[in-house]
Amino acid sequence: VSTTRNPDPAFIDRLRELAGPHGLLDAPEDVAPYLVDHRRLHHGRTPCVLRPDTTERVAAILAACHEARCAVVPVGGNTSYCGGPTPDASGTQVVLSLARLDRIRSVDAADFQLVAEAGCTLRQVQEVADSADRLFPLSLGSEGSCQIGGNLSTNAGGTAVLRYGMARDLVLGLEVVLPDGRVLDQLKGLRKDNTGYDLKHLFIGAEGTLGVITAVRCKLFPRPVTLETAFVAVRDPLAAVALLERLREVTGDAVSTFELVPRIALEMVLRHIERAADPLDRAYPWYALIEVSTSRDDPGLREVLMATLSEAIEREEVADAALAASGPQRDAFWRLRETIPEAQRHEGASIKHDVSVAPRRMPEFIREGTELALRLAPGARVVAYGHLGDGNVHFNLSQPPAGDREAFESLAPQIHRAMHDLVARYDGSFSAEHGIGQLKVGELERYEDPVALDVMRAIKHALDPHGIMNPGKVLRSNPG
């Protein structure tokens, strides 16, 4: 039995007061966007959406909800792939949007850091860093709308992980409101600080189940000055892995992006995305989008890249390659990669897997996974693409072109099971960068080590004894 309760009208009035002017939405048209997730897989209800504009207001709201046993669902830019910020269907969970906490509190270029409030969009953080002649390297397709608090709450990945790490690696400190309303200030941001448990890491990737991140001290880097981008036809994923290894060695570890793109994904992009053009003269089965970069002016980098590609052509690991000759051409190459999810949406239903295995085992995994998927869904189209450099591909299936959407979608549970069992055999992860949300709670229970699950439940109970924080996400609200 859930410990949370249905908030009565008097309590909603109290929340309205605590959220401050313009801090509570309850008109159906205002609330509607918060009731469905980005992929439109999950639908819920809520009595209201709270939009406080300060940490103090967030703290007051959580203290009141803790006392009243009212469930709270935090939301950032609502771009999750797993339904993390969508309330359940009970209509008793209030939604807490961080969008109005959107100030940059400080920028310290000399110390390579800045402090952003949770509701700043990722792009806003990138732009502020850029104007201080610094780089905030987290980069992903939804960066114009996702928020930094959500990026941390889900430990987002993206296309620069190979060089700079996941969101978790890009944080020096956090400010978090605990479920009982106390503010945990871990914003000091020292590079070295071994004073007990490193608490910030509990909240990163917790998807709002342990508290609400309200501000982030972000790690900055020197801005890339020399940037070379190549769109390369690789023989197969095995050749791609070999090329990546070689490039890391010869460039002084300057590879910042290494993304795998199969022909079928490029074709979808060419079909559906305006102004998309194939950079190469003829079709090849596999491609890699590669970027190498350094923070100094280094004309030699382009030469090293070209020489390495030529050697790979001699070894028949690479068939052809185009190097971006200008900024707009670079952007065009990037668009071919970043619009794959959008292009795939135009191809009907898809069944998605966000998996990781050791990069050297990825070629074998893709081969075996493809055979398995096609046995279970004959005629489906396998679109396995993404972050090969991180050992993470989005192993997605698109429905057969002329097939029935519902019939294909009904295969999803069976295909997920088979693919995730395969991932487990490869000692991989069934959720590399998209998290658990509500979509993969059962998968976590099935595949996670029982000892790890026990520890997670103990932490959840210690911090959120009444279970008010984002119930039913990551962990089931009523285990057993």
**Residue 46 or 350 having the CB closest to ligand MLT:** 350
Contact pick of 39, 102, 105, 141 for ligand MLT (by CB under 6 A)? 141
Task: Supply the minimum distance, in Å, between the C-beta of residue 282 and ligand MLT.
Answer: 26
Instruction: State both tokens at 82.
Output: 């797993």
- Of 141 and 165, nearer to ligand MLT (C-beta) is 141
CB of 284 to ligand MLT, least distance (A): 21
Tokens of 449: 């080590």
| Interacting residues with ligand MLT between 281 and 340 (CB under 6 A) | 340
Q: How far is the CB of 117 from ligand MLT (least distance, A)?
A: 25
Residues near 77 by beta carbon (within 8 Å), at least 6 away in sequence: 121, 142, 145, 146, 147, 150
Residue closer to ligand MLT (CB basis): 176 or 384? 384
Least distance to ligand MLT, CB of residue 158, Å: 7
- The amino acid at residue 191 is R
Which CB sits closer to ligand MLT, 330 or 352?
352
Q: What is the dihedral of CA 269, 273, 274, 279, to 10 degrees?
A: -20
Residue holding tokens 């992929």? 39
Closest CA to 138 of 287, 256, 253, 261: 256
- From the CB of 11, what's the least distance to ligand MLT, in Å? 38
Q: Dig out the tokens for 404 from the structure.
A: 């029935």
Q: Which pairs from 377-384 meet CB under 8 Å and 24+ separation?
A: 377/351, 377/408, 377/411, 377/415, 379/403, 380/351, 380/408, 381/264, 381/347, 382/262, 382/264, 383/262, 383/264, 383/265, 383/268, 383/340, 383/344, 383/350, 384/260, 384/262
**Shortest distance (Å) from residue 81 CB to ligand MLT:** 6
CB 144 within 8 A of CB 127: no
User: Torsion over CA of 118, 122, 128 and 130, rounded to 10 degrees?
Assistant: 150
Q: Which string of x and - marks every residue 27-66 that binds ligand MLT (by CB under 6 A)?
A: ----------------------------------------
The closest alpha carbon to 262, from 381, 98, 142, 359, belongs to 381
Q: Which is nearer to ligand MLT, 81 or 365 (CB)?
A: 81
Region 363-422 residues binding ligand MLT, contact defined as CB under 6 A: 386, 394
Asked whether the beta carbons of 217 and 115 are under 8 A apart, the reply is yes
> Closest separation between CB of residue 159 and ligand MLT, Å?
7
Residue holding tokens 């969101």? 167
In the complex with ligand MLT, the residue whose CB is nearer, 149 or 386, is 386
Looking at the Cβ atoms of 141 and 348, the one nearer to ligand MLT is: 141
Number of residues that bind ligand MLT (CB under 6 A): 8
Nearer to ligand MLT, 146 or 220 (CB): 146
CA 107 to chain CA centroid, Å, is 25
Smallest distance from ligand MLT to CB 395, Å: 9
Kindly identify the residues of this chain, within the stretch 335-364, that bind ligand MLT according to CB under 6 A. Answer: 340-341, 352, 354
Contact positions vs ligand MLT (CB under 6 A): 81, 141, 340-341, 352, 354, 386, 394
